[in-house]
A and B are shown apart, each in its own frame.
Chain A
Amino acid sequence: MSRQPIRFRDIARLTDEPLNPLSADELMPLPALSDVPELTPPRPRWLENYDLSLDGFSDFDIPMPKTPEERERLVRGFLTGLEKLLDPETNWTFAKLFRLSLDYCMRCQTCSEACHVYLGSGRQEIYRPTYRSEILRRIYQRYFTPAGKLIGPLIGADVEVNFKTVWRLLELSYRCNICRRCAQVCPAGIDNALIAREIRKLFSQELGIAPTELLRKGTRQHLQAGSSTGMNPAAFRNSVEFLEEIIEEKTGRKITIPVDKKGADILLIHNAGEFISWPENPAAFAILFDAAGINWTLSSDLLGYDVVNYAVWFDDVELARIALQHVEVARRLGVKKIVVGECGHAHKALCVIADRVLPGDHSVSERPRESCLPLLWDIVRSGAIRFDPSRNDFPVTLHDSCNVVRLMGIVQPQREIVRAVCSQPLREMAPHGVHNYCCGGGSGFAIMDTLNFSQWRNAVSARMKVKQILDAFGDVLDPGIRKYVIAACSNCKGTLREAINYYDLWEQHGIWYGGLVELMVNAMADLPGPYITWNEEM
């Protein structure tokens, strides 16, 4: 089906019809699957109440502004926010890279082919990395630069800001995983992912608009209740008891998991979602640390048991607040360092990005914050635990979390571990390592499931990862052969769980997923039986 090409100024179209409706037959083909789900249309009730006028999908169950005054307020708030984004002091955290990225793009489109969302969608224009950047650039030029005001059309400053533009731009900022693969290939060093993030930030910090899962039930709940899951310290303590039961049940070992142990060498903080969705993951950490004789602890302090920092995707103020609480927990316990469990964005937020909002004694040099992966590799290397790779005698592939790998350069430790604890050679995805594709759940998508957003994630942003997984297991697709996708990141696991379900990968091809530590414990020679739970056994 050929359709009219979308022009930039169409973003301001005053209709409720989607600018770029999606249909399943336009998406990137997945030849290895015999049964690819159709896209279901949005419910009529949603169309009456909400704005799905970008592509027919949305995570925002926020009623659209109805009166001219409300619309005007939205537009004014957006333009004021944009002005603040451009101001070096107001937006000190990112203004430099943001402005340079707006000013110096050569419009060569080299970045497009790097984007799994664009490719997965079958190259739909609105998902091109430069599309949303170009819209914002044209608005910025038209409203904020002398050249744009004087000779706007000649420099392409032709996008009008009305309430539809504002809303579609909000939606567009949530069609990018902020995986930054596009930035990696740009010859000029432009970062379209940062532009997407800054648009999100404008909405959050100026207008208080962000997906419910990220702001109200995310960072707000995290700061106020102690965890974005809503788990309070008492519930956390119950979870720890539950972990101890799992450990005893699965391994026969009685382990007392240390909680709030003052002066421990390591404060391990997990994504609290693990306690609820994948308790065998924190339990595996406990088994490994116990067996390796590590002096470690968990914390039951507010935020001390939930390392997520969703704000890294959309809000610098909340980012600083959460990071500060994390290091404060470590200070109060007097631990030597924080180790981040298998949670990719938390790695990047706490170890890297927040470094420059935490001054003095909270600097990373004084209060170290590290990834769990090098430590786990050290445990393997040390010989403290005996591993029997034949216990992991099934095909495995490794999904690289963008945050840990492309954005932190932690590439080899996890590969060394897999080589040490699995008997079959690691099936690398193509591409992999720092050039990997995002799972499709990055930047919050993994947990966003209001309205029909999760369908978009499964169908579009996770599509490339599904293809990579199918390709990696191309010669063993028989569903009788169990296959394991390693994802050492909670949000990647959440996305894979949903994608496996959506594409029926377990039934059709015997493909399952899990963390890295589960695989390690599964290979521990001194334990009685298998630790990994495959789908059919759950």
Chain B
Amino acid sequence: MALHWFAIIFAWASVVIFFAVAVYRVVKISSMPLGLRWEVYPIPHEARDRREYGGSYMEDVDWPKKHERRSFWAEVVEFLAPEAIEIGTEIVTMKKVRGHNRYGIWAFSTLLHWGIYLFVLWALLLIVQSLTRSALLAAVAGPLLVVACAVGLVGAAGLIVRRATTPDLARYTAPIDYFNLAFLAAIFVSGLISWAGDPALAGHRAYMSAALTFQPTAVSGAVLATFLLFWAFVVYMPFSKLLHYVIKYFLYHQGLWDDAFKTKGSAADRQVIRQLGYRVKWQAPHIAAGKTWLEEAQMISPEGEKK
């Protein structure tokens, strides 16, 4: 019984840990200083006629005078939506990997990612089914689990083989990278075994109901293993670089696609002014010690200052 209690508590704890750590990381990244502009085109939120060829507002004369304050709605429609579509398309199709990777990993990588998406969808579906007792969802859940696990397993196994047998990939693949793939493969194998022993997923549904109602119930070892592995993965993910799908937002939205120019008195301007008050701690001869960035920027010959 202790194990079944553990399986319930672990489920909740893993979700809490996942969100707590992910939010902590996101907050930590967001609170880092505003960096310099460093965009790379094409940028999805540029005007529609320019987006295709990678053009920008800087193709116009007098662009700094054409700044318009956008409404919240325009921000969502013209900025965030095109960015979300671009990131979403990459997540679903991995088009950059398909277009540029020569090591034959696109198919496996796409299958692995789809395996994960479908597995998460399956878990969510099971929750809804437990709450609604929908017969339709119960019927769909079995095939969905099989497809998710089969697809994900082919992807994970294929990537392990590809990485291990392609010298250019093998050199860059650390034990931790194999571990991540093996971890995912283990979830998918366990999922398939649990399904084989219980194609109607009675045990899976029983476990999910138990977890939702805090009423432990006995389920088979295979079902338990599938869920425990999955929850362990949920805990592990935010501590690892597997959180890259969240981090992508920062790398794109606040990095590669951040083309916002600064207007006097804006929030960005105020933040820059604050940051120019930081002390410069670098020590090369052409940098004077103990000055702020603003003071440092006004110096021409800091070597003289140092004497």
Q: Which residues of A contact B (CB under 8 A)?
A: 5, 7-8, 80-81, 84, 88-90, 92-97, 100-101, 103-114, 125, 130, 134, 153-156, 180, 183-191, 194, 204-208, 215, 220, 223-224, 316-318, 320-321, 324-325, 337, 351-361, 363-366, 368-371, 373-375, 378, 405-413, 433-435
Contacts and interface: CB of A to CB of B under 8 A. Distances in A.
Interface in B145-195: 167-169, 171-177, 179
A191 B257 CA distance: 12
A215 B286 contact: yes
A353 B38 contact: yes
Contacts of B275: 92
Contacts of A81: 282
A106 B244 contact: yes
Contact of A356 (B56, B105, B272, B301): B272
B101 interface: yes
Interface residues of B, number: 92
B96 A110 contact: yes
A354 B261 CA distance: 10
A107 B177 contact: yes
Majority SS at the chain A contact face: helix
A113 B65 CA distance: 40
A409 B96 contact: no
Contact of B297 (A101, A224, A321, A363): A321
25 contacts: A95-B35, A96-B254, A97-B254, A103-B247, A104-B241, A104-B243, A105-B241, A110-B100, A111-B100, A112-B102, A156-B174, A183-B256, A187-B90, A215-B286, A317-B293, A317-B297, A324-B298, A365-B262, A370-B58, A374-B61, A405-B41, A409-B42, A410-B59, A412-B59, A435-B54
B97 A110 contact: yes
Contacts of B174: 107, 154-156
B255 A408 contact: no
B32 A88 contact: yes
Contact of A320 (B285, B286, B293): B293
Contact of A370 (B62, B101, B167): B62
A303 to B, nearest CB: 9
Contact of B171 (A7, A105, A220, A375): A7
A109 to B, nearest CB: 6
Given A89-B278, A96-B29, A109-B169, A368 B251 contact: no
A334 to B, nearest CB: 17
Contacts of B59: 373-374, 409-413
Interface in B5-42: 29, 32-42
Given A84-B281, A321-B297, A356 B96 contact: no
A188 B244 contact: yes
A472 B42 CA distance: 24
Contacts of B247: 100, 103-104, 188-189
B283 interface: yes
Contacts of A204: 284
Nearest to A6: B171
A181 to B, nearest CB: 9
A190 B96 CA distance: 13
Given A110-B100, A324-B298, A410-B59, A96 B54 contact: no
A357 B53 contact: no
Given A406-B54, A411-B53, A180 B176 contact: no
B178 to A, nearest CB: 10
